[in-house]
Amino acid sequence: MTSEHVHIAIVGAGFSGLGAAIRLRQAGIHEFVILERDEEIGGVWRDNLYPGCACDVESPLYSFSFAPNPGWSRMYSPQAEILAYLRRCADEHGVRAHLRLGHAVSEAVWDPDHRRWALETSRGRFTADVLIAGTGGLSEPRVPELRGRERFEGRAFHSARWDAEAPLSGRVAVVGTGASAVQIVPNIVDRVGQLKLFQRTPAWVVPRKDRAFSRLEQRMFALAPFTQRMLRAQLYLRHESFLLGFRNPALMRLVQRRALRYLADQVPDRELRARLRPNFTLGCKRILVSDDYYPALTRDKVEVVSAGVREVVGSGLVDTEGRTHEVDTIIWATGFEVAEPPFARYVRGRSGDSLAQVWRGSPKAYLGTTVAGFPNLFLLTGPNTGLGHSSMLLMIEAQLELILGAVRELGRGAVTIEPDPQVQARFVEEIERGGAGTVWTAGGCSSWYLDGTGRNSTLWPWSTFSYMRRAKFERGDYVIEDA
Ligand code: NAP
């Protein structure tokens, strides 16, 4: 069977993949395709259609620095607006022609003879000199493997696969109290007959203080773009200052006091309040920002079930205390496969082993981007590029500069680039040391930031500025094969 050869194959057309495409074009590199499994672009902002879906980092900061949007309607823009922004970015930056929609990649194998990647997709084969994975860390829904799941007689779906047809007017169970549930619950509460929220671990919630941008502000941002840049800079510095608390958990007590006051103001019922009180240091799990979550939980039709789910039965859920809860609809707001992304299973490097086999549940990559033994592979939002305190787009953009540096090196005669295994190992140790004593590792919670081995393989433990400074292509850090 024939295959199409491309210089660069980008997998995924979300913020990462589109950002890569735009920066490549801006750098004068046009020989690339974007392989997207869906028929539409947008990544998580296409997939998450639950009521109330919005960003939880302010829009002026949660957007590309090279594509400011003076038209954001609110500080925290809703999903549809973010998706429209991404579509506009793709149009305005000439990315559409590079898109191969409906191309699900099922295998990416390094071909040592031709020194390139061989890709299998649902619509044919490709070969590529360079593979950029923009597959996202939060793209594969995770529904707990509970006994009896197939026996449930009602409608059940994951928050990221919203079933718009599901009748919400009856008895609804929401399982999970993460960033998705906190947006879903207040936005369906008016519609449901009865809502049971399964809370295994109470989360820290702080006020969002969302507000609309006025017409005047939008006009000002459009006519004098530096005003929006100033707002972005101010938001950037505010988020970076949060890092002080994340790195010094004792300081988080001050913020915790404010969050507890917020809880007390919002939830008058003492017994409910006690159940909602978190028992770990603020920041250990993602901090939830919401103005309407607590008020929703005080409604008569809402019950907070302070237990996990033990099993699913035909009529509903059995909690870990053995109580059966009869419901008509189950919404699994139970998060994503972070430490074992499916992409890792189908990318095979020099040794023939997949990333998943090499990582064994604990992903490692140099600067979160390149992996020893996997030449010319670049991971966007790879291991330890996640953030608990600011906008992921800052990290993605910094990674793109690093990748551009490597791609330019390939343009100068290099054929393969991969990190020196020792440089990668030293980097991983450094990350380990950098995470010690932070709220993520010492905050007394179990979160998806830590993998099955207890390592932080998700977050960058320092400032975004320090990542931007380091994410430059330094020849000496890599093993480079020339033609
Ligand atoms: P999540 O943070 O992983 O939360 C999953 C929830 O499900 C947790 O409360 C967890 O409880 C619970 N859970 C998992 N398995 C369970 C079981 N067997 N029984 C009972 N409860 C169970 O997932 P998410 O809320 O979808 O958010 C994931 C990430 O996506 C966020 O941290 C954020 O980075 C991103 N996100 C962003 C936005 C945004 O505003 N832009 C919105 C949504 C999501 P435990 O806490 O006890 O583990």
Q: What is the position in ligand 1's atom list of the atom closest to the CA of 160?
A: 26
Q: What is the position in ligand 1's atom list of the atom closest to the CA of 445?
A: 46
The reply to whether ligand 1 has any atom less than 6 angstroms from the CB of 309 is yes
Strand-pair category, 105-111 with 116-121: antiparallel
Give nearest CA residue, ligand 1 atom 46.
201
Q: What is the position in ligand 1's atom list of the atom closest to the CA of 289?
A: 40
The reply to whether ligand 1 has any atom less than 6 angstroms from the CB of 79 is no
Of 82, 78, 73, residue with least CA distance to 212: 73
CB under 8 Å to 233, separation ≥6 — which residues? none
Number of residues that make up the chain:
483
The reply to whether ligand 1 has any atom less than 6 angstroms from the CB of 78 is no
Pocket probe mutation, ligand 1, options 53, 180, 289, max atoms within 8 Å of Cβ:
180
Give nearest CA residue, ligand 1 atom 21.
176
Buried b (16+ CB within 10 A) or exposed e, 407-440: beebeeebebbbbeeebbeebbeebeebbeebbb
How far is 358 from 349, CA to CA, in rounded Å?
Answer: 9
User: Is 438:282 a contact under the CB 8 Å cutoff?
Assistant: no
Give residue limits of the domains in the chain.
3-140+337-482, 149-209+234-332
Q: What is the position in ligand 1's atom list of the atom closest to the CA of 201?
A: 47
Return the half-sphere exposure (C-beta side, CA atoms, 13 A cut-off) of residue 145. 1
3-state SS assignment for residue 223: helix
What is the token pair recorded at 303? Answer: 């019950």
The reply to whether ligand 1 has any atom less than 6 angstroms from the CB of 335 is yes
Q: What is the pLDDT along the chain (483 residues), one digit of tens a residue?
A: 689 999 999 999 999 999 999 999 999 999 999 999 999 999 999 999 999 999 999 999 999 999 999 999 999 999 999 999 999 999 999 999 999 999 999 999 999 999 999 999 999 999 999 999 999 989 999 999 999 999 999 999 999 999 999 989 999 999 999 999 999 999 999 999 999 999 999 999 999 999 999 999 999 999 999 999 999 999 999 999 999 999 999 999 999 999 999 999 999 999 999 999 999 999 999 999 999 999 999 999 999 999 999 999 999 999 999 999 999 999 999 999 887 788 999 999 999 999 999 999 999 999 999 999 999 999 999 999 999 999 999 999 999 999 999 999 999 999 999 999 999 999 999 999 999 999 999 999 989 899 999 999 999 999 999 999 999 999 999 999 998
CB under 8 Å to 380, separation ≥6 — which residues? 16, 17, 19, 20, 132, 133, 134, 369, 396, 399, 400, 403
Radius of gyration of the chain (CA): 23
3-state SS assignment for residue 340: coil
Of 421, 451, 455, 453, residue with least CA distance to 435: 455
The reply to whether ligand 1 has any atom less than 6 angstroms from the CB of 180 is yes
Phi, psi (degrees; rounded to nearest 5) at 476? -65, -15
Class of domain 3-140+337-482: alpha beta
Ligand 1 centre distance from Cα of residue 402 (Å): 30
Predicted TM-score (pTM) of the model is: 0.96
The reply to whether ligand 1 has any atom less than 6 angstroms from the CB of 174 is no
Positive or negative: CA dihedral 237, 239, 245, 246: negative
Ligand 1 centre distance from Cα of residue 46 (Å): 18
The domain defined by 149-209+234-332 folds into FAD/NAD(P)-binding domain (3.50.50)
Same fold: 3-140+337-482 with 149-209+234-332: yes
Give nearest CA residue, ligand 1 atom 2.
178
The reply to whether ligand 1 has any atom less than 6 angstroms from the CB of 387 is no
User: Is 336:160 a contact under the CB 8 Å cutoff?
Assistant: yes
